[in-house]
Amino acid sequence: MTDSGDRLVSRDGHSVPLARRNSVLGADALELTAVPPATGAYSYDPGYASTASCTSRITYVDGEKGVLMYRGYAADDLARHSNFTEVSWLLLNGELPSHAELQSFSEELAGLRACAPEVLEAIAAMPAGAHPMSAMTVALSVMPAVYPECANPGDADHRRRFSHRAIANVATVAAAAYRNTIGETAIAPRHDLDYAANLLYMMFGEEPNPVAARALDTLLVLHADHEQNCSTSTVRMAGSSGVNPFSALAAGCIALWGPAHGGANEAVIKMLEEIGTSKNIGEYVARAKDPGDSFRLMGFGHRVYKNFDPRATIIRGICHEVLQELKTGKGRLFTLARQLEEIALSDNYFKDRRLYPNVDFYSGIIYRALGLPATMFTPMFAIGRTVGWTAHWCEMHSDPESRIGRPRQLYLGPTARSYTPVEKR
C-alpha cells in the first residue's frame, strides 16, 4: 500500500519512496523501479491494466470521458476537418504541417507508393486462400532486405525514411494482398489521387466515388493511433530489441489480427450475418451473457473506454451517410446493428460492466458498402494504425530512457527437484 507521500509500505514495515512522474493530462505514474530491490516483490498487473510502460507525447485517451486526442487535437475534429495525410504528419512530427510542408509530404508519400518488386513477388507467392493479414506480414518481413536505408533505429534520417516508406507502402501492400486473394495481379499506384482514393483504386482498378474515398479516409484517421494498445505495445516491445523497424511492424500486424483487437471488425460482420434477423438478437445477447459460453458480442467493450468510444459515434454517423449515398442495399446489417446496440445498451449485464460499441462495431458495415470483403477489414485497420506504430517506434528510439522490454513474472511452477532417468520413471 502507499501513504499520501507515495511510499509503499511492505508487510515487514519496510517503507519505499515512490517517485511520482506527473502527467500533463490524466493519471500520474508512480515509479516502481525501487520496489523489488527494497521489498523483494514485483508489481503484478496481468494485461498491464494499471501499468504505464513508457512516457509518450503522441495520443491521449480519457476512457471515462470518451476523449481521444492526437497531439492535443480532438480526433473527431481531425476526422471532420483534416485528412489522413495531414494526420500522419501530425502524429509523426507533433505539429500540424504548414501548407508547404503538407504539399511536400503528400508528394513524397505519393512518390513512395510503388513497392519494390520483391515485396509484390512475396505477396504473389502466397497461396490464394491466404488471409491478406498473413500476406501483409510476409510483405513487411521482406522489406528489411530491400530497404536497407531505413534499417538503423539510432539514425534520425533512417527513422524518417522508414516512417514515410511504411505509411506509403502499406496501402500498396494491402491492395496487392487483396488482389492476390481474387487471383489477380497488383495494380500500380496512381500518384494523382489522394491516399484513400488511390487505395481503393489499387484494389478495384477504378477511380472511386468521392464519398467512398472520403469515408475511407475518415476511417483511416480514426484508426491512426490509440496510445499503448496491444499492437502498438507489440511494435514497441519488438522494436525495443533494436530489430529492423519493418519487422517490428510485422509483429504489430500479427498482434492486431486477433479478434479481441483489430480482428473484431471482421468478426462483427460474421456475427451480424449469423444473427441474421432481429428476432434472433435475444438469443445471441443471452449467449454473450452466459459465463459458460465463450461467445462475446463482437465490437462491444473496451479496456479503456467505459462510457462510450468517441470513434464509434462518428463511425455510426458515417455509416448512415455512406449507405444513403452509395445505395448499395447493405442497409440491412446497419439496421440489425442499431437494433442489437439498442437491446444490449438497455440490458443490465452490459450496463453494469460498462460495455459499449467500440470503434469496430460499425466500421465493417462501411467497408462492406465500399465493396471490401470481410478479410480486408483488418488490413484497413492496419493501414491506418501503421502511422501510430511508426510514430511510437520513432518516439521510443529517440527517448534516452527507453530500454529493452523485459517484464518479470510471478513464478508458480515446481520448486527445485532432481532429474530421474527415464528408465526409473
| x-marked contacts with ligand ACO along 370-409 as a string, rule CB under 6 A | ----------------------------------------
**Does residue 238 bind ligand ACO (CB under 6 A)?**
no
Q: Which is closer to ligand ACO, CB of 213 or CB of 298?
A: 298
Cα 113 from chain centre: 22
Q: Which of 261, 306, 330, 338 binds ligand ACO (CB under 6 A)?
A: 261
- C-alpha span between 149 and 399 (Å, rounded): 21
- C-alpha span between 364 and 334 (Å, rounded): 10
Q: Supply the DSSP string of 245-292, one letter for each residue.
A: HHHHHHHHHHHHHSTTTTTHHHHHHHHHHHH-SGGGHHHHHHHHH-TT
Q: Give the side-chain half-sphere CA count within 13 A for 56.
A: 30
Number of residues located near ligand ACO, criterion CB under 6 A? 19
Using the contact rule CB under 6 A, the part of the chain among 187-195, 199-207, 293-301, 366-374 near ligand ACO is 293-301
Using the contact rule CB under 6 A, the part of the chain among 16-24, 70-78, 197-205, 260-268 near ligand ACO is 260-268
**Does residue 355 bind ligand ACO (CB under 6 A)?**
yes
- C-alpha span between 93 and 160 (Å, rounded): 10
Among residues 76, 194, 309, 360, the one annotated as catalytic is: 360
Q: Which of 113, 302, 316, 392 binds ligand ACO (CB under 6 A)?
A: 302
**Does residue 297 bind ligand ACO (CB under 6 A)?**
yes
Q: Which single residue brings its beta carbon nearest to ligand ACO? A: 301
Catalytic residue flag (residue 293): no
- C-alpha span between 317 and 214 (Å, rounded): 13
Contact 362, 134 (CB under 8 A): no
**Does residue 167 bind ligand ACO (CB under 6 A)?**
no
Q: Which of 20, 303, 327, 351 binds ligand ACO (CB under 6 A)?
A: 303
Using the contact rule CB under 6 A, the part of the chain among 100-108, 110-118, 261-269, 319-327 near ligand ACO is 261-269
| x-marked contacts with ligand ACO along 318-337 as a string, rule CB under 6 A | --------------------
From 251, 330, 254, 344, select the one nearest 298 (Cα to Cα).
Answer: 344
Site for ligand ACO in 3-62 (CB under 6 A): 47
Q: Annotate 23-58 with b (16+ C-beta within 10 A) or e (fewer).
A: eeeeeebbebeebeeebeeeeeeeeeeeebebebeb
Q: Which is closer to ligand ACO, CB of 164 or CB of 226?
A: 226
Q: Which amino acid belongs to residue 416?
A: A
**Does residue 190 bind ligand ACO (CB under 6 A)?**
no
Using the contact rule CB under 6 A, the part of the chain among 119-127, 139-147, 202-210, 357-365 near ligand ACO is 357-365
**DSSP type of residue 424:** G
Least distance from C-beta 260 to ligand ACO, angstroms? 4
Give 3-state DSSP helix, strand, coil % of the chain, rounded to 5: 55, 5, 40
For 186, residues 6+ apart whose C-beta sits below 8 A from its C-beta are: 120, 123, 124, 172, 175, 176, 179, 180, 202
Q: Which is closer to ligand ACO, CB of 8 or CB of 297?
A: 297
Q: Which is closer to ligand ACO, CB of 69 or CB of 176?
A: 69
From 274, 296, 159, 209, select the one nearest 201 (Cα to Cα).
Answer: 209
Catalytic residue flag (residue 302): yes
**Does residue 270 bind ligand ACO (CB under 6 A)?**
no
Least distance from C-beta 36 to ligand ACO, angstroms? 26
Total count of residues recorded for the chain: 425
Q: Which of 189, 299, 364, 384 binds ligand ACO (CB under 6 A)?
A: 299
Question: Cell triple for residue 281?
Answer: 438478437
Contact 197, 280 (CB under 8 A): no
Among residues 223, 302, 392, 397, the one annotated as catalytic is: 302
Q: Which of 213, 314, 359, 391 binds ligand ACO (CB under 6 A)?
A: 359
Reduce the DSSP state of residue 205 to 3 states and report it: coil
Q: Which of 300, 334, 367, 393 binds ligand ACO (CB under 6 A)?
A: 300
Q: Which is closer to ligand ACO, CB of 112 or CB of 344?
A: 344
Reduce the DSSP state of residue 314 to 3 states and report it: helix
Using the contact rule CB under 6 A, the part of the chain among 29-37, 68-76, 199-207, 351-359 near ligand ACO is 351-359
The residues that touch ligand ACO, with contacts defined as CB under 6 A, are: 47, 260-262, 264, 288, 296-303, 353, 355, 358-360
